[in-house]
Amino acid sequence: MQRRNVICGLMVAGLCCGGGAAIALDVADVTREWTAEGKKLAAERIKLPAHDEMVRIPAGPFIMGSDRKVDRNSYAAEYPQRKVHVDAYEIDKYEVTTVQFLKFVLAHDLPPLIDWQYDGGNFQDTMANHPVMHISWFDADAYCKWAGKRLPTSAEWEKAARGDDGRIYPWGNQPAGLSRANFGRTGLSGPVRDRPERLLLYPPIVSVDKYENAVSPYGVFQMAGNVAEWTSDWYDSNYYKTASDRNPKGPAQGTQKAFRGGGWIDSTPSVRPAQRNGTDPNTKMNWLGFRCARDVKDAGEASEPPPPQSKLE
């Protein structure tokens, strides 16, 4: 089921239905402001180590989408499964972190993000290596361009997550467990806020370099769980029926942008890399972040060679 497209139709507005009640999400209409001391601290924080590594994904075909006979959790938007050729490219090894995004914020004299509410506009120390969140598609697109990169297409994102053999998860076909991915422990999907059972139901965000045992065949981290990730494509649930089998870039136009990978609020079936969803590009949520990609100018050069593809588990 395309969960996020239908959760009461109110996620962007900041409300969700739950047992007949409206539950506010943590996307309050608040603008944070820097203090003078806060900006000084932020200027020091951008010197912290960044996770800037990229991984080269070689040119060639991969199996995109799902086969219902293999993946019983798949649904119509993932069909038909087919081979798709993607030219070589590089993709961030890790989700973009708060420290990385802070550099962009300071470079453009932007206000702090909604969850940067400590020490005059800063994030907590423990969040330094967490994926940045509450980022709209436009924010993510602007950051990638500023960094000399771009958002990955959905096809590029999926290949980097699954390799070329059609595996269900980055590590193989074995379902996600708490030792492999950061996702909701209840088996349910949906947002929560200010509920005492929150930490029992859902895990906290974790650093982008966790779960070394669950990297993709190319060595890319957290392509399942933690935060879902924006891609460059417009979203259309029927797109696979007519999409090109060579470097597909999504529909020419639309009203929603595609995101992939699932996040901490999601259940095991929802953190499958083949799952497709879309939302308004202005959406800013605490389960949604991004990573960047870039074209390979010289196929003979790579920032980091891809590891050999591992066998399915």
What percentage of the chain has pLDDT greater than the value 90? 71
pLDDT at 309: 55
Report the amino acid identity of residue 107: A
pLDDT at 251: 97
Of 80, 238, 112, 224, give the one whose Cα is nearest residue 158. Answer: 224
In this prediction, residues 231-239 reach a mean pLDDT of 97
- pLDDT at residue 62 above 70? yes
Higher per-residue pLDDT: 262 or 91 = 91
Rg (CA), the chain: 19
pLDDT at 205: 86
CA 91 – CA 296 distance, rounded (Å): 10
Residues in the chain: 313
- pLDDT at residue 66 above 90? yes
pLDDT confidence bin for 265, thresholds 50/70/90 = confident
CA 294 – CA 290 distance, rounded (Å): 14
Transcribe the chain into DSSP letters: --HHHHSTT-TTTTEEEETTEEEE-S--S------HHHHHHHHHHTTS-----EEEE-SEEEEES--TTT-TT--GGG-S-EEEEE--EEEESSPPBHHHHHHHHHHTTPPPPTT--BTTTBPPGGGTTSBP-S--HHHHHHHHHHTT-BPPPHHHHHHHHHTTTT-SBTTBSSPP-TTT-B--SSS------S-TTHHHHSPPP--TT--GGG--TT----SSBSSEEEEEEE--TTGGGT--SBS----S--SSEEEES--TT--GGGG-TT--EEE-TT---TTEE---EEE-S-TT--SSPPPPPPPP-
Residues whose CB falls within 8 Å of the CB of residue 262, separated by 6 or more in sequence, listed in order:
183, 224, 225, 228, 270, 271, 272, 275
> pLDDT tens digit string along 203-225?
678 999 999 999 999 999 999 99
Report the amino acid identity of residue 236: D
> pLDDT tens digit string along 151-195?
999 999 999 999 999 999 999 999 888 789 988 865 444 444 444
- Mean pLDDT is highest, among 22-36, 55-69, 259-273, for 55-69
Q: Where do we find the tokens 């390979």?
A: 296
Q: Where do we find the tokens 């509920």?
A: 195
pLDDT at 82: 96
pLDDT at 189: 46
pLDDT at 96: 98
pLDDT at 201: 53
pLDDT at 310: 52
pLDDT confidence bin for 202, thresholds 50/70/90 = low
- pLDDT at residue 300 above 80? no
pLDDT confidence bin for 301, thresholds 50/70/90 = very low
CA 96 – CA 140 distance, rounded (Å): 9
pTM for this prediction? 0.84
Cβ atoms 258, 234 nearer than 8 A: yes
